[in-house]
Amino acid sequence: MTFRCRNVLVLAAALVAESSIASPPNQTALVPASDQAAGIASLWMAMLVGGCLIFVAVMLILALGLWRARRQEHRLSHLASRNLVIAAGVAVPLAVLIALVAGSLFLGNNISSRPPDGALHIEVIGWRWWWEIRYRDSQGELIATTANEIHVPVDRPVRLSLTSEDVIHSFWVPNLHGKTDLVPGQTNSSWFTARRAGTFHGQCAEFCGTQHALMGFRVIAQSAAEFETWLAQQAQPARRADSPMLRRGREAFVSAGCASCHVIRGVTPPALANAVKTDSKNPLSADVRSLSKARTAARDKPVPAPDLTHFGSRLTLAAGTRPNTAGHIGGWISDPQGIKPGVLMPPTMLEPGELTALIGYLQSLR
């Protein structure tokens, strides 16, 4: 049948088109780097093979049926029709589906079970349009806060607590695991065990407004020793400004208004995020009218922004959008709307000297 050939050609053309593309394998479900992603990738391969077989079989049956009539009519008897429908329309699909559902539920149960003891606990809080990351020790004490970059040790289970303070986001690192939503008012959990070192890309997967597209982050899987060193360093307060240039940069950070949203531990007062959180603790006591005022006010006041205490140690800025280099930092400070239109960070006009000092200071925060 010309019809089927055309279809096969299209499929082949699409496959050729795809295979010729060398994509960096750091945001793909097809190159798993954890137990969980590997399980899902195997399930996908099984379903892909099975799906192709079923598709070809159905097309062949259809083609054969049409081919039978090329010279003269050659209809199926009632009995043969019935057998075809029962076998191909009911029995085979039923068997395939039972196997698939069983396998899928088995895998799903493994993935969604509780993580083993001794898992590393990381909190992820979704904001428009960046990720707040908090490390806690086994007693639940806060060790370090960072943003848009998660470091994890290889071969140790990592437990994620996921929530949001504004709209629904979804946490997704395809190489490490499927996604889990960050829903305001509830804390979801997910866990994975990375099996090889590397830098993996993640991205928000639930539409969350204007800058949903550029709400990315990095997950860096590294050896346990490297990870401990990194975490210990992140737990420190910010590096002191020990030269006149750095001090000038630090002053610019405060005087230009950056400090009204961003925190640098040891330099600026505690996070605004905490203030907002206590606000929303007991809203039920307020009547509707004051609630509406509070909501209008909340819309206008500055929102919490990434903790910059160790900004200089990060790979990217603007939630995975630009590499963390002096030029990009300068561009982001002076014109964030040009890079991510609609982002909540306002542009900041600084004298060239001040800007250079500020960039130098931010880069020094390692």
Partner 1 sequence: MSQVTANMPESASSAPSEQATAELNRTWASPAGFFGWFTHVNHRKIGFRFIMTSLVFFVLAGVLALLMRLQLITPENSLMGPELFNQLFTMHGTTMMFFFAVPIMEGLGIYLVPLMIGTRDMCFPRLNAFGYYVYLIAGIVLYLSLFLGMAPAAGWFAYVPLANDMFSPGKGMDIWTTMITFIELSALTAAVELIVTIFKQRAPGMSLDRMPLFVWAILVMSFMIVFAMPTVMVGSILLMLDRTLMTQFFVVASGGEPLLWQHLFWFFGHPEVYIIFVPALGVLSAIITTFTHKRLFGYTAMVLSLVAIGFVSFGLWVHHMFTTGLPHLGLSFFTGASAMIAIPSGVQIFCWIASLWGARIRFATPMLFVLGFFAVFVIGGLTGVMVASIPFDMQVHDTYFVVAHFHYVLIGGAVLPLFGGIYYWYPKATGRLMSERLGRWSFALIFIGLNATFFPMHQLGLEGMPRRVYTYLETMGWGNLNLFISLSAFVLALGFGLTFLNMWMSRSRGTPAGPNPWDADSLEWATDSPPANYNFRHIPVVRSGTPLWDDAIANERQFVSGLRNDRREVLVTTLVDAEPQAVVILPQPTIWPVLLAVAVSIGFIGTIFSPWGFWLGFFLSFWMIVGWLWPRRPWQEN
Q: How far is the CB of 241 from partner 1 (least distance, A)?
A: 33
Q: How many residues does the chain have?
A: 366
CB 218 within 8 A of CB 200: yes
Q: How far is the CB of 183 from partner 1 (least distance, A)?
A: 6
Q: Where are the beta strands (DSSP E) in 99-167?
A: 120-127, 130-136, 142-147, 149-153, 157-164
Reading phi first (left if > 0) and then psi (alpha if -120 to 50, else beta), residue 330 is in alpha
Tell me, what DSSP letter sits at residue 303?
Answer: P
End-to-end CA distance of the chain: 65
Q: How far is the CB of 121 from partner 1 (least distance, A)?
A: 17
Count other Cβ atoms within 10 Å, centred on residue 103.
14
Q: Which amino acid is at 192?
A: F
| Separation of alpha carbons 218 and 147, rounded Å | 10
Q: Which helix (H) or strand (E) holds 172?
A: strand 169-173
Distance of CA 360 to the CA centre of its chain: 30
| Separation of alpha carbons 322 and 17, rounded Å | 29
- Between 85 and 254, name the residue whose CB sits nearer to partner 1: 85
Q: How far is the CB of 152 from partner 1 (least distance, A)?
A: 18
- Between 80 and 224, name the residue whose CB sits nearer to partner 1: 80
Q: How far is the CB of 334 from partner 1 (least distance, A)?
A: 18
| Separation of alpha carbons 11 and 4, rounded Å | 11
CB 60 within 8 A of CB 5: no
Q: How far is the CB of 300 from partner 1 (least distance, A)?
A: 11
Q: How far is the CB of 205 from partner 1 (least distance, A)?
A: 5
- Between 184 and 327, name the residue whose CB sits nearer to partner 1: 184
- Between 138 and 290, name the residue whose CB sits nearer to partner 1: 290
- Between 65 and 266, name the residue whose CB sits nearer to partner 1: 65
Q: How far is the CB of 157 from partner 1 (least distance, A)?
A: 17
Residue 208 CB burial class (10 angstroms; 0-12, 13-18, ≥19): buried
Q: Can you give the C-alpha Rg of the chain in angstroms?
A: 27
- Between 171 and 361, name the residue whose CB sits nearer to partner 1: 171
